[in-house]
Amino acid sequence: MEYRLVPMTEGHIPQIAALEAACFSRPWSESLLRDLLGSRHSHMLVAEGADGTVLGYAGLTAVAGEGYIDNIAVAESCRRQGIARAMLEEFIRRGREGGLAFLTLEVRASNAPAIALYEKLGFELAGRRRRYYDDPPEDALLMTLEFAGKE
């Protein structure tokens, strides 16, 4: 599958909002996505097909030397083709180059494919947030990739 990683633009927002609605029980609104686009702390990546279709997207918030991966979503028809991995690897590269101490994220405890990907990329279990998600209720695993002192 051909795609390229590009920074999110205003033109991507309707497709990203639709992807949010398809992937998450509490999707982000177009308004929130616009706010993130305008924030100097947010870095939004889009996996864009050759025709401009949004195949996936990911968001990173970096503040005070710490990185938080907000959301990662890939269209169901495009999963297991390396898109999420490519976006995460880009954030890892940026985190290292930008001097972040770590990247962290939350993931549903039942999301075994995502957890396996994060572990392959070096993220480690750092904690559990009981009943973090609702609809349906579920724990979140907190996973972190530390950069400090690592090559």
The pTM assigned to this predicted structure is 0.92
pLDDT, residue 64, reads 94
CA 134 to chain centre: 19
Condensed to tens digits (0 to 9), the pLDDT of residues 13-30 reads 999 999 999 998 889 999
Average pLDDT, the chain: 94
Q: Is the pLDDT of residue 3 over 60?
A: yes
Share of the chain above pLDDT 70, in %: 98
Give me the catalytic one of 66, 118, 132, 133: 118
pLDDT at 149: 60
Name the active-site residue from 3, 48, 106, 133: 106
* Domains present along the chain, CATH in parentheses: 3-146 (3.40.630.30)
The DSSP line for the chain is --EEEEE--GGGHHHHHHHHHHH-SSPPPHHHHHHHHH-TTEEEEEEEETTS-EEEEEEEEEETTEEEEEEEEE-GGGTTSSHHHHHHHHHHHHHHHTT-SEEEEEEETT-HHHHHHHHHTT-EEEEEEEEEETTTTEEEEEEEEE-TT--
Decide if 133 is catalytic.
no
- Say whether 119 is catalytic: no
pLDDT digits (tens, 9 = 90+) for 95-151: 999 999 999 999 999 999 999 999 999 999 999 999 888 888 999 999 999 997 644
